[in-house]
Amino acid sequence: MSDRGTGQTPKSGEGLLFLTDDQLRRGIEAMFFAYRGFTADPDRILQQYSYGRAHHRAIHFIKRSPGNTVNNLLDILGVTKQSLNRVLRSLIVDGLVESRVGKQDRRERHLYLTDAGQELEKELSEAQRSRMRAAYRDAGPEAVAGFRQVLEQIMDPEMRRHFQTIKEGA
Amino acid sequence: MSDRGTGQTPKSGEGLLFLTDDQLRRGIEAMFFAYRGFTADPDRILQQYSYGRAHHRAIHFIKRSPGNTVNNLLDILGVTKQSLNRVLRSLIVDGLVESRVGKQDRRERHLYLTDAGQELEKELSEAQRSRMRAAYRDAGPEAVAGFRQVLEQIMDPEMRRHFQTIKEGA
DNA sequence: CTTGGAAAGTCAACAAGGCTGACATAAACT
DNA sequence: AGTTTATGTCAGCCTTGTTGACTTTCCAAG
């Protein structure tokens, strides 16, 4: 009864201690605190341009696969078109993103970063990468492999598909 | 010259391939997609109670260290007192959180979950843990160790302090 | 050629949850 | 007595998410 309440079952003496509720809670809090750090540096930069995190996400994924359609981007970002459109519009007006009419299907809009867009993207991703690089270096390659492995398992399957598309694709 | 533009320096034939910009980008996207999955299950539950992620965070950290002061919680959550107060007020009004005047210092308010609060906390954390547990199990203990190690490096140092307080404390 | 439906854009309204600034109160500290 | 600290609260603003309704464009099937 003492640990039934926490959903734990010790089972036997095997090395399953990493699956205890307490270990899981630590993982959960690590995710929370780390995500804050993860976004902190780009957020500071974005503030100077009076943009938000949503702009960063759009810029990132346009950079990753230039010429992507709006619909594709919607799928990746998991927001409504109205939400994305507001962000895209400001980026287009400000001359950071270019929206070209599709050649085969002229209903589609293909998104590209302009030179100015590339510049901001670089500034943002450099900042974010620099923190990640330091973390990776300190933790070492085996830790990084585990990090990526666990993150991939945490994702929703559809997102894993998006993610793997990138992995294979590039 | 070919990869100077991406900030990479191959240096020598050592195993530093995990530090390339491309690997870092994959880690960044993994964080993004994984965090979405990480919050998805609690978010669904919270919606039924017309609460948001902010309520979850407050509940989580009150559960973790009952009797914590408001100031302490502010420090952990990294939001303004106005923002936290809005959330806390609704939780107190709804009878999920109790705010007790401090015994030594009567200016302080110490926060506790009521029985109803414990119940919701359990529902939320069970949902979140269940995804984490599956991810941990699939990835294995070594991967989990690496996962935690990298996340800890990504955090801001002050947050790492909070995090380690928990690690040691419990 | 017409029409159905998909893709995209737009307008309006709303909510959560951040933020700042100002101000109030009580309690502790000096 | 005066200052600092902890907390709460009001008002207003911003970003970013949501729904719903509607239009325009245009491919493709009938």
pLDDT in tens, A12-59: 556 799 999 999 999 999 999 999 999 999 999 999 999 999 999 999
Residue B13 confidence (pLDDT): 52
Using a 7 A cutoff on CB, list residues near strand C: A 69-71, 81-82, 85, 88-89, 99, 102, 105, 107-109; B 50-55, 57, 78-80, 82-84, 86-87, 104-107
| Residues in B touching A36 (Cβ below 8 Å) | 78, 155-156, 159
Q: Convert the pLDDT of each residue in A93-108 to its tens digit.
A: 999 999 998 888 888 8
Angle B66-B148-B127 (CA atoms, 0-180°, nearest 5)?
55
Residue A162 confidence (pLDDT): 83
Q: Convert the pLDDT of each residue in A63-87 to its tens digit.
A: 999 999 999 999 999 999 999 999 9
Residues 111-130 of A with CB under 8 A from B: 125-126, 128-129
Residue A105 confidence (pLDDT): 85
Q: Convert the pLDDT of each residue in B27-47 to its tens digit.
A: 999 999 999 999 999 999 999
Residue A5 confidence (pLDDT): 43
Q: What average pLDDT does the structure give for chain A?
A: 89
Q: Which residue is nearest to nucleotide D24 (CA to C1')?
A: A107
Query: Above 50 in pLDDT, residue A169?
Result: no
Residue A4 confidence (pLDDT): 42
Q: Which of A53, A147, A37, A137 is nearest to B27 (CA)?
A: A147
Residue A15 confidence (pLDDT): 78
Interface test with A, best of B4, B33, B163 (most A CBs within 10 A): B33
The dihedral over CA atoms of B129, A9, B162, B29, expressed in degrees to the nearest 10, equals: -30
Q: pLDDT under 70 in chain B at which residues?
A: 1-14, 165-170
